[in-house]
Chains A and B, each alone.
Chain A
Amino acid sequence: MKLILMRLIPILWVAEVALAGLPVSVRADEADRLKSDLIGHCMGGREKCWKFQSPEQIKKLEIRQQTDDGARRVYVVALELRAAKGEGRYAAEARIEYVKSAGNWKIKQIGLLSLIKIE
């Protein structure tokens, strides 16, 4: 019995690590997809306007909230942004709304929730 348990523990440990890792990697994939989808879109306005021009501008993207009713998917994300040219690093919170169109999810709107210059 003791031997069985000793053999089982590493297997269970590996399984737990794998299961714990799965959502993280899925989440990371989703964050990468969001980064890519944001390109070409704008949020905010006037001096507080950000146009996503390249994934390299998005240093961090963390999904804080997500809702999905089948036709509409809304994310609230925390972003760390860097200007494409010149100086400036910013922390932002944004609301990204997707709608399903012809079977595909497309960004309908990005709303700027907060913006702070951090560097």
Chain B
Amino acid sequence: MIAITKLLGLGAISSLLLGGCQVTELGGPLTDVSSAERAQFNAGRRVFQRAFTPESGLGPLFNSVSCVACHESPVPGGAGERTEIHVARLVGPQTCDPLFQQGGPVIQQNATPRLRAAGIEREQIPPGAAQARRSTPPLFGLGLVDAIPEAAILSREDPDDADGDGISGRANRAIDGRLGRFGRKAAVAELSDFNAGAFPLELGVTTPRSPVEETVNGKPLPPDVDPVSDPEISEEDLEATAAYVRLLAPPPLQIFTRAAEQAMVERGKGLFMTVKCAACHVPEMMTGPHASKALDRRPVALYSDLLLHDMGAALADICLGQAHAAEFRTEMLWGLRFRRQFLHDGRARTVTEAIEHHAGEAQGARDRFRALGEEDQKALLKFLESI
């Protein structure tokens, strides 16, 4: 049985039963999707892979030409090595301005030929704004994350560190006050909100929910640079894309064929707990009741508490919502072995390097990792390679 799991290499299309745990292919749909959901998933995948042109709605300002151009590695829906620029400005001790009126928080880095002919190559960083680099996160399993009940997330808050463990997670809020869970600062409430915003902000494609083009740092576009009438994508395509992302299966577990390796993973799992990585990187949550069987009361091995934590001054960049510059939502660790860069801005090239950048509330865990012997560190990293 263990040998069979080797088939879970990239692109292997299989749905296997391993000790009662169903495993899906990377980039494929969740198990138990209905035939209607599978059809929606496939329709959404086509939109996700569609390359937009200025004639089909791209731009005039944009970051990329398709969803898959960024979410590409190792399969569509995955992470990407491109980074983009986000901005915001702290306007009071507790007040963050996402600079909507100046083109924020996402600054588009590309322009269509017509806009370039009008002298605009990209958006500029607004004067006085703090800026941040953001790498492309993987989308696997996010429908499950979306279906975790709010109460399960809020129950882990400890804003004043009442239990004295040095960890004081707190929830962020979207601008309308809903609990945030998506984005590196957890400033977006629902997965459908994230998808709906990606079209105008990343591709410059207007939608029924955002039916006007983004401005150029708050200034209207020059005339005749946008040949396509708005909205540039239909509600059906938008919903299909949302379904595709919602139904993407989480990364499959890596089960090593050699007993020694698997034992190392087990030891690493124990160390992950004793070093207290799991205080923030919570191994598992459960989805609540859901209309879709595929998302209904399922375990979610996300390795995150979806809360904000202070990661120290060296990583601090922008505020967003109620998140301070140094606060980030605990990164989900599932599928770590499929990534080529780490942390919110991709600055770390290895997992060890990423751990070394942990400070603030995570300093204790980092120091305990450092204090481990070489073999124990390897075991912990092996465990991270397996999830």
Contacts and interface: CB of A to CB of B under 8 A. Distances in A.
Interface in A92-119: 95, 109-117, 119
A35 to B, nearest CB: 15
Contacts of B188: 46-47, 49
A83 B211 contact: no
B138 interface: no
Tell me the interface secondary structure of chain A in the complex: strand
Given A111-B209, A116-B100, A116-B101, A46 B173 contact: no
Interface residues of A, number: 32
Given A111-B208, A116-B100, A45 B176 contact: no
Given A45-B194, A46-B201, A49-B197, A109 B208 contact: yes
A85 B320 CA distance: 15
Nearest to A41: B209
A43 B207 CA distance: 10
A59 B101 CA distance: 20
A49 B176 contact: yes
B196 A44 contact: yes
Interface of B: 94-95, 97-98, 100-101, 105-106, 173-178, 183, 187-190, 192-201, 207-212, 231, 235, 320-322
Closest 7 CB pairs of A and B: A46-B197, A45-B197, A84-B177, A45-B196, A111-B211, A83-B177, A85-B177
28 contacts: A42-B196, A45-B207, A45-B209, A46-B196, A46-B198, A47-B174, A47-B175, A49-B188, A49-B189, A50-B176, A51-B174, A51-B193, A52-B176, A53-B176, A83-B176, A83-B177, A84-B178, A85-B173, A86-B173, A86-B177, A87-B94, A87-B322, A88-B177, A90-B175, A111-B212, A112-B209, A112-B211, A117-B101
Interface of A: 42-53, 57, 81, 83-88, 90, 95, 109-117, 119
Given A43-B209, A46-B197, A51-B193, 16 more contacts: A45-B193, A45-B198, A46-B106, A46-B193, A46-B196, A47-B105, A48-B210, A49-B188, A49-B190, A57-B177, A85-B178, A87-B322, A88-B177, A109-B209, A116-B101, A119-B95
